[in-house]
Structure 1
Amino acid sequence: MSQSRPQTILFADVSGSTRLFETKGDVEARRLIALVLDALSAVCGQHGGRVIKTIGDEIMCTFPRAMNGVLAACDMQRRLARDIVFVRDNLAVRIGLHHGDALEEADGDVYGDAVNVAARMTSLAKREQVVTTAATYDGLTGKAPEARSLGKARVSGKLLPIAIVDLVWQEDTSGMTLVQTGPRQGTGEDGGVETVLRLKHRGEVVELRPDSEPFLMGREPGNQLVVEADWVSRTHAMVEFKRGHFMLADRSTNGTYVRMGEDDELKLHRDEVHLRKSGTISLGQSFAANSGDVIHFEAD
């Protein structure tokens, strides 16, 4: 029988695994990823956790308490950072976790809101980073790792953005600015300055704010910005506020070209970039081939 109970859900996935397969070949890449997942599984067990499953280059774990999950996440990052094999091959993981109610099935798998939020935290994390919700961090008792606020982020199924933090797992924190409470960006109501991103395309102007839904661009009508061209993917790219910045993420076949100010053209392919100050975006083609249908952006 299914049973719902509070627990901590943790996801960790190998960063840059696609490039690993390209450079190492299928057999060697799979062997290296298996080594990483084995190491993460061992750390999970040391902190009283349970491995639910591994899927490709990702592992899913549960822990009875938030502190178990937080300490395990930090030790997972340290484990990879100290291993010469992982360092030599530039292997790293990104980790997200959240404590909340999850439905546990008879076969041991878990579902529910806590799982969805933890998965979202993982998608927000960069390589060598541990991201969790501020609610999970604030609920810790005892000696917890330091944390830095990453502002607020949208989570599917949540009406309002939620505050998130980055756990500092590094043993040498000199030079880091540690912030344990409060969002990074002001909202105007508390005297802060709200970040605004303006997108301009064919005379239309859209303003995005930190609490805006993710902004999708592509050739299908379901996108907020539709660019009808053969070289544009159905859902080509997305702009989203996370980690305190507006980030442009490419999801396409042909890539997304970005130019910031007077900088050289940058091609994104299944990667993301922080949109700074002002510039232009071209979907699927370089600016030289697509000068008549570019998207202009301006960040305040």
Structure 2
Amino acid sequence: MSPSRPQTILFADVSGSTRLFETKGDVEARRLIALVLGALTQVCQQHGGRVIKTIGDEIMCTFPAALNGVLAACDMQRRMARDIDFVRDSLAVRIGLHHGDALEEADGDVYGDAVNTAARMASLAKREQVVTTAATYDSLSGRAPEARSLGKARVSGKLLPIAIVDLVWQEDTSGMTMVQSSVRAAAEEGEGAAVLRLRHRGRVVELGPHSEPFSMGREPGNGLQVEADWVSRTHAMVEYKRGHFTLSDRSTNGTYVRIGEDDEIKLHRDELHLRKSGTISLGQGIAVNTGDAIQFELG
């Protein structure tokens, strides 16, 4: 194993690949994904990068410097947006990257903090988006693209949430709110002001921007245990990311949410930004689950 050295790690994967297999069938879906990964490989190499591996619908690359990786990521998105074959089949990718120390194995694979952080950035990215850390962005010079602050997000192995940004790769940026070298300050603006209070059967839990992800479910190991047959072992998670408290459902029966006086929403294997105040019900509609409903309030 070679010593750890600074490099930029980039992950990109095909957005909505599960639906692609459902609508196109296995053979055609595999063909289309191979075309996308081939195009991303070309862009990677054009920017001095190296493809470490492809796994299913995902590609992992390394670059010698942050600027190489950032420019490659933006060109990858432009390639997807311009290629008529990809546009016709509504193919898109999401990309995450980070510059930091990584270990390189004899077989060429890489490991370490930079890899873990880059993978987390990719998991936060949405369709047609490039997400990176503010630290990576702040290290850029020269031809750096513009960026928008996404607040902060937790990364496994790091004590505190880190500031993240969305790179603007689109050539028409009219109407977008930009930040450049001040990204870090913008991400930290108002830090600590947000508090989420959860109330359940007389218990009150307060969560802040630095709180660990908070789980709710049937098993005793959850931050909030709700003992009911219709509640999954780990049913839902509340996490502060991108400047918001986000509720994500991981259950079989879904999570029901009502914000203020709005209509009830059923969340199933998806996530929702919590706003103002309201009610959360695990596994059943709010109207039939009043005894175990969870009240929430932001303040």
Normalised TM-score (structure 1):
0.92
Check if 1:108 corresponds to 2:127: no
Check if 1:199 corresponds to 2:202: no
Q: Deviations over 1:122-159 (max 9, x none)?
A: 12222211111111111112120001111222211112
Classify 1:179/1:282 alpha carbon distance in 2 versus 1 (closer, same or farther; 3 Å): same
Measured after TM superposition, the shift of residue 23 of structure 1 is: 3.1
- State the partner residue of 1:135: 135
1:15-164 mapped onto 2 (5 Å cutoff): 15-164=15-164
Contact 1:153–1:211 (CA<8 Å) still a contact in 2? Answer: no
Q: Deviations over 1:228-271 (max 9, x none)?
A: 22222222211111111111112222222222222222222222
Classify 1:95/1:265 alpha carbon distance in 2 versus 1 (closer, same or farther; 3 Å): same
Contact 1:67–1:140 (CA<8 Å) still a contact in 2? Answer: yes
Q: 2:56 and 2:256 mapped to 1: Cα distance?
A: 29
- State the partner residue of 2:235: 236
Contact 1:185–1:244 (CA<8 Å) still a contact in 2? Answer: no
Mean CA deviation greater in 130-139 or 216-225: 216-225
Mean CA deviation greater in 81-90 or 210-219: 81-90
Classify 1:212/1:23 alpha carbon distance in 2 versus 1 (closer, same or farther; 3 Å): same
Please tell me the residue identity of whatever aligns with 2:138. D
- State the partner residue of 1:254: 253
Classify 1:291/1:33 alpha carbon distance in 2 versus 1 (closer, same or farther; 3 Å): farther
- State the partner residue of 1:184: 187
Classify 1:29/1:260 alpha carbon distance in 2 versus 1 (closer, same or farther; 3 Å): farther
Q: 2:210 and 2:41 mapped to 1: Cα distance?
A: 36
Which structure shows the bigger proportion of residues in helix conformation? Answer: 2
Classify 1:19/1:210 alpha carbon distance in 2 versus 1 (closer, same or farther; 3 Å): same
1:255-274 mapped onto 2 (5 Å cutoff): 255-274=254-273
Mean CA deviation greater in 169-178 or 247-256: 247-256
Measured after TM superposition, the shift of residue 176 of structure 1 is: 0.6
Q: What SS class does the counterpart of residue 254 from structure 1 fall into?
A: coil
Q: Number of paired residues? A: 296
Q: 1:20 and 1:199 mapped to 2: Cα distance?
A: 38
Q: 1:174 and 1:10 mapped to 2: Cα distance?
A: 27
Classify 1:33/1:196 alpha carbon distance in 2 versus 1 (closer, same or farther; 3 Å): same
Gapped runs of 5+ residues in structure 1? none
What's the RMSD between the two structures over aligned residues? 1.8
Q: Deviations over 1:1-28 (max 9, x none)?
A: 3332110001112222223333333333
Q: 1:259 and 1:122 mapped to 2: Cα distance?
A: 30
Classify 1:246/1:171 alpha carbon distance in 2 versus 1 (closer, same or farther; 3 Å): same
Q: What SS class does the counterpart of residue 67 from structure 1 fall into?
A: helix
Measured after TM superposition, the shift of residue 187 of structure 1 is: 4.0
Q: Deviations over 1:162-221 (max 9, x none)?
A: 111111111111111102222335346xxxx71121111112111111111111112222
Measured after TM superposition, the shift of residue 98 of structure 1 is: 0.5
- Identity within the alignment, %: 84
Please tell me the residue identity of whatever aligns with 1:98. H
Q: What SS class does the counterpart of residue 45 from structure 1 fall into?
A: helix
- State the partner residue of 1:298: 297
Contact 1:98–1:114 (CA<8 Å) still a contact in 2? Answer: yes
Please tell me the residue identity of whatever aligns with 1:63. F
Normalised TM-score (structure 2):
0.93
Q: 1:154 and 1:122 mapped to 2: Cα distance?
A: 13
